């Protein structure tokens, strides 16, 4: 639950009128997807101003509004929180709730494969520990705080996807949600329109491993030279994954079929046959990255 007191404390916001609800089940920024009891986030964008949709949000059952305009008028019983900047308020709240609940953050970035790798890591950790994963591809300074609305205090680990479409965004995400483990999948052309060159993409993605503490872990794709080169940018320990025996954790394919991929997982001096539900070569990297994170936390391959 998202508490009113926590929001006010984290954001420095103030109430417009007496509050109704003091807890909210989640954030929502799209009235078409709103569930009763959620806090509607009124965000100005290039496509429209979320404040214009506040009446629709109230009609849809929103029990609170987070806004940055004082001219908002709401019926009695609907909590309204005024902040100077809604987007910054979400970032501030996200940092606050992570500090308060204290989950260990495993952050995943890369040009491709982030979401599938995040899901695989969360599945591995979730077999043993209460684990949060950011939903879908909510992975930027707006989406990730929204995803954290579902974080619960009992969840010991938080597997968070982090992406960027401008310089400085990865570093900002790492300040908001400081990782102890950072996984980098690939540096590819996916962000060229924003960052210009592959070298610039690698520089930006590498900000994640640069933010790690000395007792953290950088989990790097050994088959991408730009990712592997990030080992020189982190104070943390490094573990590598890939398809070659030179990696700390590597996956040897045996067969590909409609029912999945058969392979041998090599880690910790052991070789284990595994069945991967995913198809093709990407499945090997996803499995290797997830196994590497499992190895960090002392989990055996299953």
33: Cα within 13 Å, side-chain hemisphere: 6
Secondary structure class of 179 (helix, strand, coil) = coil
pTM, 2 dp? 0.94
Q: Are 183 and 109 in contact (CB under 8 A)?
A: yes
For the chain, the average pLDDT equals 94
End-to-end CA distance of the chain: 33
Residue 284 CA to its chain's centroid (Å): 22
Model confidence at 56, in pLDDT bands (50, 70, 90)?
very high
pLDDT tens for residues 247-297? 999 999 888 888 888 899 999 888 999 888 877 888 899 999 999 999 999
Residue 130: CB atoms within 10 Å: 13
DSSP single-letter state for residue 299: P
Query: Which tokens go with 19?
Result: 């509050």
User: How do strand 249-257 and strand 260-267 relate by DSSP bridges?
Assistant: antiparallel
User: How do strand 14-15 and strand 79-82 relate by DSSP bridges?
Assistant: antiparallel
Domains in the chain with CATH codes: 2-84 (3.40.1390.10), 102-296 (3.40.1190.10)
Q: Is 60 exceeded by the pLDDT of residue 302?
A: no
**Where are the strands (E) in 146-236, listed by range?**
157-161, 181-184, 217-221
Q: What DSSP element (H or E) covers 204?
A: helix 198-205
For residues 198 and 208, give the distance between their C-alpha atoms in angstroms, rounded to a whole number. 16
pLDDT tens for residues 171-199? 999 999 999 999 999 998 877 778 889 99
Q: If you compute the radius of gyration of the chain from its CA atoms, what whole number of angstroms results?
A: 21
pLDDT tens for residues 127-175? 999 999 999 889 999 999 999 999 999 999 999 999 998 899 999 999 9
For residues 40 and 17, give the distance between their C-alpha atoms in angstroms, rounded to a whole number. 17
């Amino acid at each position: 639950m998202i508490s009113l007191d926590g929001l006010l404390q984290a954001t420095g916001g103030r109430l417009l009128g007496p509050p109704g609800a003091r807890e909210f089940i989640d954030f929502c920024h799209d009235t078409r997807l709103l569930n009763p009891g959620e806090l509607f986030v009124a965000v100005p964008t290039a496509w429209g101003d979320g404040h214009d949709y506040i009446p629709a949000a109230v009609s849809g059952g929103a029990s609170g509004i987070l806004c940055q305009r004082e001219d908002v008028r709401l019926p009695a019983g609907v909590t309204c929180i005024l902040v100077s900047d809604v987007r910054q308020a979400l970032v501030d709240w996200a940092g606050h709730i992570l500090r308060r609940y204290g989950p260990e953050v495993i952050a995943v970035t890369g040009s491709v494969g982030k979401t599938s790798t995040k899901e695989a890591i969360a599945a591995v950790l979730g077999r043993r520990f209460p684990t949060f994963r950011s939903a879908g591809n909510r992975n930027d300074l707006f989406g990730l705080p929204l995803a954290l609305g579902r974080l619960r205090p009992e969840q010991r680990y938080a597997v968070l996807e982090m992406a960027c479409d401008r310089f400085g965004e990865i570093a900002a995400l790492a300040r908001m949600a400081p990782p102890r483990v950072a996984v980098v999948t690939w540096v590819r052309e996916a962000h060229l329109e924003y960052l210009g060159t592959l070298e610039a993409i690698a520089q930006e993605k590498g900000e994640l491993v640069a933010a790690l503490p000395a007792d953290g872990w950088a989990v790097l794709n050994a088959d991408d030279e730009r990712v592997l080169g990030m080992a020189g940018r982190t104070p943390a320990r490094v573990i590598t994954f890939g398809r070659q025996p030179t990696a700390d954790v590597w996956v040897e394919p045996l067969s590909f079929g409609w029912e999945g991929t058969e392979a041998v997982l090599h880690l910790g001096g052991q070789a284990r046959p595994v069945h991967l539900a995913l198809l093709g070569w990407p499945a090997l990297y996803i499995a290797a990255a997830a196994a590497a994170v499992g190895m960090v936390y002392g989990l055996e391959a299953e």
